[in-house]
Amino acid sequence: MTINQAFEILARHGGIRAAHVITENAPSLSRISVWRMARALRRGVPVAKIIHKKWFYGLQFYTNRHTLDPRPDTETLVDAVISEYGANAKLNILDLGTGTGCIIAALLKNMPDAHGTATDVSRRALRVARYNMHSLGLCHRMRLVRHNFNNSYNFAKRFDIIISNPPYIAHGDTRVNPGAMHDPRLALYAKNNGMAAYESIAKNALDWICPDGKIYVEIGDGAGSDVRNIFKKYGWTFNQSYNDLSRIERVLVFKK
């Protein structure tokens, strides 16, 4: 099948933009693979899940159905850390719920003296993160741990900063993008109206942070007040917040 033929079929089922991205990035454009991808587009599968590639902070990441696709909004978290500490900071960073590993990888690539530990409860997500760390040449500065941040854990050291983009969508929230149907529910939804993960992090991270450390968490639209109250309850001090490119409050920073 020619590229033009593949493009026509894909555009008919998923639009011109999707057709452009797939024909430029898909490893195979055989008749069978094109019709398989067209059916996936018709079902609403995101393009990144079809080509297994997503760019984040200028870096290419492998992604699949076991991880969230990296999103531009989350780059706000990376910007926040780098703007505060600078590229030359020697930090030990803990990433809770790493998924593809995009946040910690972007930080380590832009902070060459930093080291990281990344956790996820999903073995399959950790495989994706490990693949990405290897592809980006970061294995020597990274440690991956299977851990649910709902529970305490002995990391054998404390961290200068903790970062997390936890699940924060309330069950039954109708504002969820249709493409999220193809993401792992464990990485999207949280109990207690979307606040359960923040509760666990605020409680357990006290044992993981250095005395003068900071924690950076991504939040959903309009969740700032509730998340601030949760961290305040566990003794954290609100430091500052950052807006994403849509001017929505996206990242909150707390001190111990």
User: What pLDDT was estimated at residue 184?
Assistant: 83
User: What pLDDT was estimated at residue 3?
Assistant: 86
Per-domain boundaries in the chain:
3-51, 72-255
User: What pLDDT was estimated at residue 178?
Assistant: 67
CATH number given to 72-255: 3.40.50.150
User: What pLDDT was estimated at residue 80?
Assistant: 97
Write out the chain in H/E/C secondary structure: CCHHHHHHHHHHHHCHHHHHHHHHHCCCCCHHHHHHHHHHHHCCCCHHHHHCEEEECCEEEECCCCCCCCCHHHHHHHHHHHHHHCCCCCCEEEEECCCCCHHHHHHHHHCCCCEEEEEECCHHHHHHHHHHHHHCCCHHHEEEEECCCCCCCCCCCCEEEEEECCCCEECCCCCCCHHHHHCCHHHCEEHHHHCHHHHHHHHHHHHCEEEEEEEEEECCCCCHHHHHHHHHHCCCEEEEEEECCCCCEEEEEEEC
pTM of structure: 0.91
Which residues of the chain carry a pLDDT beneath 70? 174-175, 178-179
User: What pLDDT was estimated at residue 174?
Assistant: 65
User: What pLDDT was estimated at residue 6?
Assistant: 87
